[in-house]
């Protein structure tokens, strides 16, 4: 950050009085610019024993499969963001959503949150950010073609939890991967 979004003057990075972290501060209007993690909200949509996945039409990881998810917008709840992303990517309507998995990704300043939900019906279609949408049985999941580790972990937890029909809320820290591994 070089300039203040409040007044346009140059900012400096320093620890403001009463704080413990470096922040961008405008010495002209004294605005402190806080930078906080982005929240990615998504859904693990199911229809019976099948899971809905979307093949990405955008970067990063264009052409790879993912659960419907994306960045939360201002003015939305987590549930609204997850539902909106599901509609945008798969034109899919959902039944009630249940919080399921949370992932802390401090190395990229993100938190990923996934809900579980049954599809309201089978009226699904390719959305603007998808090349393809499809329902998969467990043995059909294209594991090596999944876009993000959080999607892989959510599916792994789901198939583990489905055996007992008990879906506890999970919270995992995912450290950075080495460069030869799939993207977070």
Q: What is the mean pLDDT of the segment spanning 105-125?
A: 97
Has residue 39 got a pLDDT over 70? yes
Q: What are 71's strand-pairing partners?
A: 40
Q: DSSP letters along 2-14, please?
A: -B-TTT--BEEEE
Q: Which residues of 59-97 are buried (b: 16+ CB within 10 A; e: fewer)?
A: eebeebbbbbbbebeeeeebbebbbbbbebbbebebeeb
Has residue 37 got a pLDDT over 80? yes
Contact 105, 144 (CB under 8 A): no
Q: What is the mean pLDDT of the segment spanning 2-22?
A: 96
**How much is the pLDDT for 182?**
54
Q: What is the mean pLDDT of the segment spanning 68-88?
A: 98
What class has domain 1-35?
A: mainly beta
**How much is the pLDDT for 180?**
54
Q: DSSP letters along 107-169, please?
A: GGTEEEEEEEEEESSS-----TTEEEEEEE-GGG--GGGBS-HHHHHHHHHHHHHHHHT--PP
Q: Where are the domains of the chain?
A: 1-35, 38-173
Say yes or no: domain 38-173 is CATH 3.10.20.740. no
Has residue 68 got a pLDDT over 90? yes
DSSP structural state of residue 106: G
pLDDT band at 128 (very low <50, low <70, confident <90, very high): very high
**Percent of the chain having pLDDT more than 90?**
95
Q: What is the pTM of this model?
A: 0.90
Has residue 124 got a pLDDT over 70? yes
40-61 residue pLDDT tens: 999 999 999 999 999 999 999 9
Q: What is the mean pLDDT of the segment spanning 7-33?
A: 96
Q: What is the mean pLDDT of the segment spanning 7-34?
A: 96
**How much is the pLDDT for 88?**
97
Has residue 178 got a pLDDT over 90? no
């Amino acid at each position: 950050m070089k300039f203040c979004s409040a007044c346009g003057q140059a900012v400096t990075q320093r620890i403001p009085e009463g704080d413990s972290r470096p922040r961008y501060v405008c010495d002209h209007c004294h605005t402190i610019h806080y930078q906080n993690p982005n929240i990615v909200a998504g859904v693990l949509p199911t229809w019976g024993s099948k899971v809905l996945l979307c093949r990405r039409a955008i970067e990063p990881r264009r052409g790879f499969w993912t659960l419907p998810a994306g960045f939360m917008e201002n003015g939305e709840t987590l549930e609204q963001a997850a539902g909106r992303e599901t509609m945008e990517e798969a034109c899919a309507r959902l039944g009630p959503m249940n919080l399921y998995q949370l992932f802390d990704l401090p190395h990229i300043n993100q938190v990923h949150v996934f809900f579980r939900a049954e599809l309201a019906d089978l009226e699904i279609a390719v959305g603007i950010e998808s090349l393809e949408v499809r329902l998969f049985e467990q043995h059909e999941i294209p594991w090596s073609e999944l876009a993000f580790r959080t999607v892989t972990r959510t599916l792994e937890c789901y198939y583990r939890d489905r055996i007992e029909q008990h879906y506890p809320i999970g919270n995992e820290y995912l450290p950075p991967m080495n460069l030869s591994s799939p993207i977070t």
